[in-house]
């Protein structure tokens, strides 16, 4: 995919109003891409210029693809883990059937590449000292992770049978400003609350000794776009470059940046995800480097750009 700003056919971003989606759209536009953002009606209406559409509606999707050529797809739309457990029917409709609809459109309309936002939850809970790579067997423990594994397998089938270049990025816990999460507010609060002038608490669900894999949303966007525009891909699945952080160290660092902040660990283990990850496949193939989470927090506290 061209990098010279001359690309005219848009990149389709599903889940464009979401935490990662907004960062992806912003970065694509900054790099000169034409972008077509798509999200469900209640989200897209709040984001100017986006198309309100449910990916489970195959007829609407077909009309969209018939109306314009699509240069590539970054597929991020999904029912997230907590909501998926509450409504497994809807989760299956969106995470499986909706994703299948997109693959079918890619096949029928000749879209060269589909970049899929997968998750490290495909590995399930792993021993604290186990370093997980892409060759490790998937063992998801919830509907969300199981749907990610299924879509990776389905994407592989479409690649082999129809030539659709389907590639998956397995992403860890995404942090940064603007997550707007009701169940994991800390992911944004560790950045957004750094300037507070009065005593403020940030609650983390995990015990202080626990390790969690984190990655800043802007770096996730960079990795997804790297996969979109790479001339060739050596693999169909990549672990996102994430940092393994001890919760107690994160607490100490955030509180050190602003004494008004009190980070309170919880009593939960990091179930459903690995604690240590091998991301050398991505970092070496694409020469990808990023600052540590502590450097990013330091920069945010100082008002510097990440």
Beta-strand pair 243-246/211-216 = antiparallel
**Ramachandran angles phi, psi of 243, nearest 5°:** -110, 130
158 catalytic, yes or no? no
Report the largest interatomic distance among the alpha carbons of the chain, rounded to a whole angstrom.
59
Encoded tokens for 293 = 């989470």
**Positive or negative, the Cα torsion across 235, 239, 242, 244?**
negative
How far apart (Å, rounded) are the C-alpha atoms in residues 290 and 278?
15
Question: Active site residue: 33, 123, 144, 158, which one?
Answer: 144
Which residue, chain included where needed, has tokens 């991020």?
76
Stretch (H or E) spanning 23? helix 19-30
For residue 216, CA distances in Å to 20, 33, 105, 117, 246 come to 10, 22, 31, 15, 16
How far apart (Å, rounded) are the C-alpha atoms in residues 180 and 167?
27
For residue 104, CA distances in Å to 110, 129, 158, 165, 233 come to 10, 40, 9, 13, 21
Which residues are the active-site residues? 144
């Amino acid at each position: 995919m061209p990098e010279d700003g001359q690309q005219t056919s848009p990149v389709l971003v599903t889940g464009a109003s979401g935490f990662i989606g907004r960062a992806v759209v912003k970065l694509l536009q900054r790099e000169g891409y034409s972008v077509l953002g798509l999200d469900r009606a209640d989200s897209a209406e709040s984001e100017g210029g986006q198309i309100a559409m449910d990916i489970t509606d195959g007829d609407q999707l077909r009309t969209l693809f018939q109306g314009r050529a699509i240069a590539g797809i970054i597929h991020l739309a999904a029912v997230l883990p907590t909501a998926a457990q509450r409504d497994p029917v809807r989760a299956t409709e969106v995470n499986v059937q909706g994703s299948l609809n997109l693959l079918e459109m890619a096949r029928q309309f000749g879209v060269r590449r589909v970049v899929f936002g997968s998750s490290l939850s495909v590995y399930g809970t792993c021993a604290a000292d186990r370093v997980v790579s892409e060759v490790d067997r998937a063992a998801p423990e919830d509907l969300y992770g199981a749907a990610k594994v299924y879509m990776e397998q389905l994407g592989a089938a479409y690649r082999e049978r129809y030539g659709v270049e389907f590639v998956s990025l397995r992403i860890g816990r995404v942090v940064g400003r603007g997550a707007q999460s009701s169940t994991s507010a800390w992911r944004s609060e560790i950045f957004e609350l750094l300037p507070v002038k009065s005593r403020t608490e940030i609650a983390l669900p995990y015990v202080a000794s626990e390790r969690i894999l984190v990655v800043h949303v802007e770096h996730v966007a960079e990795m997804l776009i790297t996969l979109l525009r790479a001339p060739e891909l050596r693999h169909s699945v990549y672990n996102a470059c994430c940092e393994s952080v001890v919760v107690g160290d994160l607490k100490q660092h955030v509180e050190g940046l602003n004494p008004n902040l009190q980070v309170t660990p919880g009593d939960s283990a990091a179930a459903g995800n690995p604690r240590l990850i091998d991301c050398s496949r991505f970092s070496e193939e694409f020469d990808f480097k990023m600052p540590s989470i502590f450097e990013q927090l330091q920069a945010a506290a100082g008002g510097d750009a990440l």
